Amino acid sequence: MSIEEKHTRLIKEKAKDLGFFYCGVSKADFLEEEAKHLESYLKNNFNGKMTYMENHFDKRLDPRLLVDDAKVVVSLLMNYHPNEIQKDKAAPKISKYAYGQDYHLIIKDKLKSLFSYIQEEIGEVGGRIFVDSAPVLDKSWAQKSGLGWMGKNTNIINPKEGSFFFIAELILDLNLIPDGPIKDYCGTCTKCIDACPTDAIVKPYVVDGSKCISYLTIELKDELLPKEFSGKMDNWMFGCDICQDVCPWNRFSKPTKEASFSPHENLLHMSKADWVDLTEEVFQEIFRKSAVKRTKYAGLKRNIGFLKS
């Protein structure tokens, strides 16, 4: 076994111990195809008011600009699929990824542990950790690393686990054995496209982010949501899971074993009336450690109010 093979196995085994259910490696290189897609995405204003998407264009496409002498991108997946969902079918809905504690913090801690382990076991390795908070094209690297294919809804789909998982990366100046991409198994299926109530999936593999319910309920900070989406939100107040819920591959999703992603004890039992009457005090209690805090109390109330319009 070569030293690269040994190091690759070491990292993948430790990643599994830390709760990541997949770990793949790709060579740190310029993303040529993705450059065209990103340019087209921005040109069509599919980023809406997410102006940060226009920043660091070159860094998004070349990990060597983020880490000196970067050799590989190590991509990792962590399952967040819950054991149970909200009880009241009439209640405003929250995306499953936000049921538990903020994934940024949970995964960042695990990546720090993994990075420390690499330095202890292998030696002086330089690199950085990333959890959805820097100019890194997570899905592109996950795809290149063989962790899944990019579905028509632009989510990464794993043939054994579906798509309810978080993606994170380590960019390292260490030589490892890269994995290759896997085949696209979407076939002729268009369930995600047909189910999207705002027509955000404008064609297979292309999403207009400015029409996505997740964008409207989380990223858009305007005082009022655009009237054109009235009656089209399918009762989502934070995020949206429609294109994942209808995906046939998610029949393979299994409940997460990560306790931190378990919902607050009151969250799943709140009724429609509870949400309509939500106070800031209850909001702070339920979402104290949650990603839902991103939208703030006023933002969540805005979304809930819009669902009644």
The residue annotated as part of the active site, out of 132, 173, 245, 274, is 132
In terms of phi and psi (left: phi > 0; alpha: psi -120 to 50; beta: otherwise), the region of 100 is beta
Q: Is 132 a catalytic residue?
A: yes
Instruction: Give me 71's structure tokens.
Output: 């050799």
* Residues recognised as catalytic: 132
